[in-house]
Structure 1
Amino acid sequence: MRLILLLTFSFINISFAQTTISGKITSHNGEPLFSANVILKDTYDGASSNEDGNYSFTTAETGEGILLVSYVGFQSEEKSITLNGENIEVNFILKEKAGELDQVVISAGSFEASDEKKSVILKPLDIVTTAGAEADVYGVLQTLPGTQTIGETEGLFVRGGSAYESKTIIDGMIVQNPYYSGVPDIPARGRFSPFIFKGTIFSTGGYSAQYGQALSSALILNSQDLAPDTRSAINLMAVGLGGSHTQRWENTSLSFEAGYYDLKPYFEVQKQRADWIDPPFGFDGNMVFRQKTSQTGIFKLFSSYSSGGLTLNVDNIDNPVVKDRFNLNDYNFYLNSSYSEIFGEDWTFFTGVSFSKDINDLILAGDLIDTDEQRAQSKITISKNLFGNSFITFGGEAHNIKIDESFNQFNRKLDNTYYAGYAETDIFITNDFAARIGLRFEQVNIINESNIAPRTALAYRVGQNSTLNFAYGHFYQTPEDDFIHGNTNLIFEKAIHYILNYQY
């Protein structure tokens, strides 16, 4: 009997042996990487690195295994390990992805200086797999160098700049309200799913003359082309449900997606610091239409609608003992349409229009605060091949922005028209040296001001695996609406960018 019991307990001990895996993740220059993903392949076991780059987790797996580490902008790395119940320390030194992070890329024997080569390029899978970002485009970008995370408000804060100094651009068109409506001390998410876009380009300065009205940075989102196939999906979550359907024909695709969410059940289980009365709830829906018009032409149409509400108690700014009721209802509509085509061998044509409308109905401590914002935009861009890979691009755009705000019985309105024209050329002087030289003109009616903004980007290949990049430019932005109300005798805000980097 004693022998049987001994064998039984030994078997149980072996079966439930746990292996602890820990280590540190750094870049090639020794900097710790925060929120890097560490997983044991073909299992659900893993962890994320902390602010010091350290990670640790346990697994009940045994035998041979592969540890995989991934991080935005860096090459993934794998290491083989043996799981035998003993503690294992595995450290990783990750390398930056070639051609994606702050690098000029040699393409077809030529050396190119462009926004994509000195920006961060993210794919949808990078966004949804970044730890802590919760599949939010802006949450991922806040983990990158040069950006700061401000815990109580939404937005991209780049190198000390304010959130309004960064602009979101979808298929060449500025988005007026890229975030859900915010709540005091609680940052809001971005409105758009990362899977709508085929690529995310985040430029922290020195961007093309084709874009303006952004002092600090530009987030350039390029939407998907034709859907790959016909598919349907149903999403069941703890906080809501949704569904989607995509229909693909030979030269056409049409997609619909809708969802409803209510965070009340989740907040009842996971207690929050905020004093919620009615946790956030709402509806989201979007439609995506694509039509291939020729071998080189495509028409795109994207529209989205969202509505939602919430109620909570917030601190009174004059008396911290008193709580004020904050009730918000938000309605947002966005439409983006574009057409692009290549004519002959030398000409590329793009045109687009967009419209957005955002309505916020807010009740704070009994005061009625309503805001109605809308922006209409049109844009046209033409490119002409000059010789080899060198080309010239020119075009123009027009915006009309209307804002209607009311506070109880008081009301104020703003109606602004903004025009811009631009031209730039990409010249490949040699296979090792390229330049982009651009000029942008802007006119804003509400302050009756205009500007001319020069932009330059240079790239030089120093060696087979090393490049030197330089960018310079003037960037202007119209003062925020709150400053313009009652005082239109203002001038543009201005920033001058000097960017120099070396990549090996």
Structure 2
Amino acid sequence: MNPRLLLFIAFLLLQTQAFAQATIRGKVLDEKGLPLPGANIQLKGSYDGATSSQDGSYQFETSARDAQVLVFKFLGFKTQELAITIAQGSNEVQPIELIEAITEMNSVTISAGAMEASDASKSVILKPLDIVTTPSAMGDIMGAFQTLPGTSTVGNDGRLFVRGGDASEVGIYIDGMRVGNAYGTTAGNVPTRTRFNPNLFKGTFFSTGGYSAEYGQALSSALALNTKDLSKRSQGDLSLMTIGGGYSHTLANEKQSITASANYFNLGPYQGLIKQEVDFEKAPNGWDLEVAAQKKTGENGLLKIMARTESGGMSLWQPLPGTEKLVLVDLKNNYSYAQANWRTTLKNDWMVFTGISYSNNFDKIAYDSLIIERKSELAHIKGTAIKDFSDRLSAKFGVEHFIHPYSEKLVAEGWKRDFKDHETYLFTEWDFYLNKDLVFRGGLRGGASSVSNEKWVDPRFSIAYQLGDKGQLSFATGSFHQLPLENFRVLNTNLENAESNHLILNYLFSKEGFTFRAETFYKSYDQLVTFEGLPDDPKELATNGSGYAQGIDFFFRDRETFRNTDYWITYSFVDSKRSFNQYETQVQPSFAPKHNVSVVIKHFIVPFKSQIGASFAFNDGYSYTNPNLDNSDMNAKTKSFQNLSLSWSYLPKPNLIIHLACSNVLGRDNVFGYTYSPKTNSQGVFESIPQGQVAPRFLFLGVFLTLSKDKTANNLNNL
């Protein structure tokens, strides 16, 4: 062989051997200094690298020299790069600490008060499917939420009462926009319902206190209802019920969808068959029309528009205690609500939301010869921006403005009183994750009212800490303000905000199929409205009232132990006293029973294509004032409230659902209080009339048929 060729080959081998001598070694640790086995280490732009061993150490050889970059990767941690200089021989690299990536899946969430920002899998959440299948709810959103911790069932009202607060202390939002007059107007002892169909929503979030700084004007709670995004398919849905019927039609494609619906109800035929405790001259009746549309805009944007209009009424004879006289009460109501909102994601991790909504409620009430007209409007304009500065720090900024006109009119006398308020709010909220097990949230909300000429600031703070893989501990505190009710403000526009301060401590254990939640709380009340006289004719209105509410809630939900069975159990204890309205001393409000129990069970029987359900509600009774006992207020209590409801849902075909439900199947005579005569009879006794149920039971039968090219589609598909 040619000597020159041999010399050349030897030179190449020596060069290769020389370059192969560089060794890289080091160690990969986590933030606590503990070793991370299984991390991937690689020279950037090459295939040279290694995987860390059990003690976090790694070692590999490379032919690279001089300035290079090491890349460290490990699942669940941020990828990091380290600049190094490689020399021949052994190269010791300084230990590197990888920072854990924080995501919604692995991070702790604030569950104190079930705050709005909590992850759906770790919060007390009811989806629309839970609502329509809860036997006692009868398809009403509030009826379903009354089975959750922190709530009280007030059977002759129907609205949501939370932790010793009255129904007006719960703020209701649709897609972040405040809803004015969210409940249907009612009269006498007839419970009301929410105006909106649960099928409209993809999810709901219920806060029992300590809620986000994004929401205000609610002393106790915020209920956020989120409408569906794009509908999945085009379909028609026909419903036939014992109280009426309706039809909705959806047109959908990949970029847009629209749903239009019309409904009519009339309890007249039903009440003609089943005896009623209330003497109706004209049974509750009404109709509604609704349109909801969604459209994708650009790559990340979504525009939603919704409009609803409805009209209804009822007429009933109301007895007066101590007399044989009956007074005719006639109620007519017209209501409209519309909103549009748009959200999108911008560059640099900004997400923006803008929305506008308007509600208009008109009541015409005839009480004997007295005719009253009330009109309430609410316009809401809102904008928010969310910025993720990193996976550990994010912030929300927002501004909103309300225009709120209200008027009352005595038709025959020609008397009218009104006000028009402008309210402006600024809010911000910051989340900081110290690590995946510890999160802090701080918020600030400021507001101003043009009518009361008042300004206020509400600080709010919460913290959560992960306990093991399944448990967590949360704490929340904050201040909350709320302007007085419209019927009080129109009498005295100088009335200022009531104030409540919350303290909440929460423990949450959650794993697949199981949820356990325990929460204790304390709320203070200040500047509640007080007056002289009776609620129908208040005088000398002021904000001199105060009070408190304290207690503990327990909630357990199990979807795993029993096959095809879902059940939850709730117990709430509330100790609440307040001086408010006509009460000069602190009393237990009639709407705040101390002990509240709820049990809901749903079981699916596969061979019969059926779901059977049962729900039981109990509380220890409602306080009321009995003038025959002594001169003190709230000196008596009704017997306990009990309600057992049953339901049966049958799917004979995939597109056909038959649903039968009955409330208070045992026919318990629940009483919610008494109305007393203002004068004694000849025996010196104040005569009374019990405030009871409209009927011993309520029976509902509905048939729901879906018309679609997809023969498996039905009313439950979009829930």
1:270 to 233, 252, 274: 274
Deviation at 1:483? 2.4
Task: Give me the whole-angstrom Cα distance separating, in 1, the residues matched to 2:109 and 2:242.
Answer: 47
Query: Which amino acid is 1:268 matched to?
Result: G
TM-score (norm 1): 0.77
Contact 2:151 2:163 in 1 (8 A): yes
Task: Give me the whole-angstrom Cα distance separating, in 2, the residues matched to 1:129 and 1:434.
Answer: 35
1:492 to 494, 497, 519: 497
1:358 match: 361
2:478 match: 473
1:326 to 329, 333, 337: 329
1:457 match: 462
2:108 match: 111
Q: CA RMSD in A?
A: 1.5
Deviation at 1:116? 4.5
Query: Which amino acid is 1:415 matched to?
Result: K
2:605 match: none
Contact 1:473 1:497 in 2 (8 A): yes
Task: Give me the whole-angstrom Cα distance separating, in 1, the residues matched to 2:226 and 2:257.
Answer: 17
1:208 aligns with 2:212: yes
Task: Give me the whole-angstrom Cα distance separating, in 2, the residues matched to 1:320 and 1:501.
Answer: 52
1:371 aligns with 2:374: yes
1:242 match: 246
Query: Which amino acid is 1:226 matched to?
Result: L
1:178 aligns with 2:175: no
2:446 match: 441
Query: What whole-Å deviation, never above 9, does each CA across 1:107-155 have from its counterpart, x for those lacking one?
Result: 3332233525375311111001111110100111112221111122232
Task: Give me the whole-angstrom Cα distance separating, in 1, the residues matched to 2:184 and 2:176.
Answer: 21
Query: What whole-Å deviation, never above 9, does each CA across 1:33-92 have from its counterpart, x for those lacking one?
Result: xxxxxxxxxxxxxxxxxxxxxxxxxxxxxxxxxxxxxxxxxxxxxxxxxxxxxxxxxxxx
Pairing 1:359-438 to 2, within 5 Å after superposition: 359-408=362-411, 409=413, 410-438=415-443
1:338 match: 341
Contact 1:116 1:201 in 2 (8 A): no
Pairing 1:44-63 to 2, within 5 Å after superposition: none
Contact 1:353 1:379 in 2 (8 A): yes
Task: Give me the whole-angstrom Cα distance separating, in 2, the residues matched to 1:503 and 1:253.
Answer: 38
2:132 to 128, 134, 144: 128
Contact 1:153 1:182 in 2 (8 A): no
Task: Give me the whole-angstrom Cα distance separating, in 2, the residues matched to 1:325 and 1:106.
Answer: 60
Query: What whole-Å deviation, never above 9, does each CA across 1:150-184 have from its counterpart, x for those lacking one?
Result: 12223211111111111111111111111111111
Deviation at 1:231? 0.2
1:36 match: none
Deviation at 1:320? 4.2
Contact 1:106 1:112 in 2 (8 A): no
Query: Which amino acid is 1:305 matched to?
Result: T
Pairing 1:221-300 to 2, within 5 Å after superposition: 221-300=225-304
Task: Give me the whole-angstrom Cα distance separating, in 2, the residues matched to 1:339 and 1:362.
Answer: 38
Deviation at 1:361? 1.1
Deviation at 1:426? 1.0
TM-score (norm 2): 0.54
Task: Give me the whole-angstrom Cα distance separating, in 2, the residues matched to 1:481 and 1:194.
Answer: 28
Task: Give me the whole-angstrom Cα distance separating, in 1, the residues matched to 2:302 and 2:450.
Answer: 34
Task: Give me the whole-angstrom Cα distance separating, in 2, the residues matched to 1:435 and 1:207.
Answer: 14
Query: What whole-Å deviation, never above 9, does each CA across 1:347-384 have from its counterpart, x for those lacking one?
Result: 00000000000111111112111111111010000011
Contact 1:228 1:248 in 2 (8 A): yes
Deviation at 1:249? 2.2
Deviation at 1:276? 0.8
2:203 to 199, 202, 208: 199
> Aligned to 2:184, what secondary structure does the other structure show?
coil
Query: Which amino acid is 2:312 matched to?
Result: G
Contact 2:103 2:391 in 1 (8 A): no
Task: Give me the whole-angstrom Cα distance separating, in 1, the residues matched to 2:489 and 2:267.
Answer: 38
Contact 2:108 2:472 in 1 (8 A): no
Contact 2:331 2:363 in 1 (8 A): yes
Deviation at 1:503? 2.2
Contact 2:236 2:247 in 1 (8 A): yes
Task: Give me the whole-angstrom Cα distance separating, in 1, the residues matched to 2:472 and 2:104.
Answer: 14
Contact 1:446 1:488 in 2 (8 A): yes
1:503 to 476, 501, 508: 508
Query: What whole-Å deviation, never above 9, does each CA across 1:416-456 have from its counterpart, x for those lacking one?
Result: 11110001111111111011111000101111111110111
Contact 1:127 1:136 in 2 (8 A): yes
> Aligned to 2:424, what secondary structure does the other structure show?
strand
Structure 1: 5+ residue stretches without partners: 1-104
Query: What whole-Å deviation, never above 9, does each CA across 1:195-222 have from its counterpart, x for those lacking one?
Result: 1111111100010000000000011111
Deviating runs (4+, > 3 A) in structure 1?
none
Query: Which amino acid is 1:156 matched to?
Result: L
Task: Give me the whole-angstrom Cα distance separating, in 2, the residues matched to 1:502 and 1:197.
Answer: 28
Q: Aligned pair count?
A: 399
Task: Give me the whole-angstrom Cα distance separating, in 1, the residues matched to 2:298 and 2:131.
Answer: 32
Query: Which amino acid is 1:445 matched to?
Result: S
Contact 2:419 2:493 in 1 (8 A): no
Structure 2: 5+ residue stretches without partners: 1-101, 510-719
> Aligned to 2:389, what secondary structure does the other structure show?
strand
Task: Give me the whole-angstrom Cα distance separating, in 1, the residues matched to 2:131 and 2:103.
Answer: 26
Contact 1:151 1:186 in 2 (8 A): no
Pairing 1:70-109 to 2, within 5 Å after superposition: 107-109=104-106
Deviation at 1:342? 0.1
Task: Give me the whole-angstrom Cα distance separating, in 2, the residues matched to 1:389 and 1:251.
Answer: 34
Contact 1:110 1:389 in 2 (8 A): no
Task: Give me the whole-angstrom Cα distance separating, in 2, the residues matched to 1:387 and 1:116.
Answer: 17
Contact 1:296 1:342 in 2 (8 A): yes
Task: Give me the whole-angstrom Cα distance separating, in 1, the residues matched to 2:392 and 2:295.
Answer: 28
2:148 match: 144
Task: Give me the whole-angstrom Cα distance separating, in 2, the residues matched to 1:201 and 1:395.
Answer: 20
Query: Which amino acid is 2:116 matched to?
Result: D
Distance 1:119 1:364, change over 3 A: farther
1:220 match: 224
1:81 match: none
Task: Give me the whole-angstrom Cα distance separating, in 2, the residues matched to 1:406 and 1:299.
Answer: 39
Task: Give me the whole-angstrom Cα distance separating, in 1, the residues matched to 2:296 and 2:470.
Answer: 39
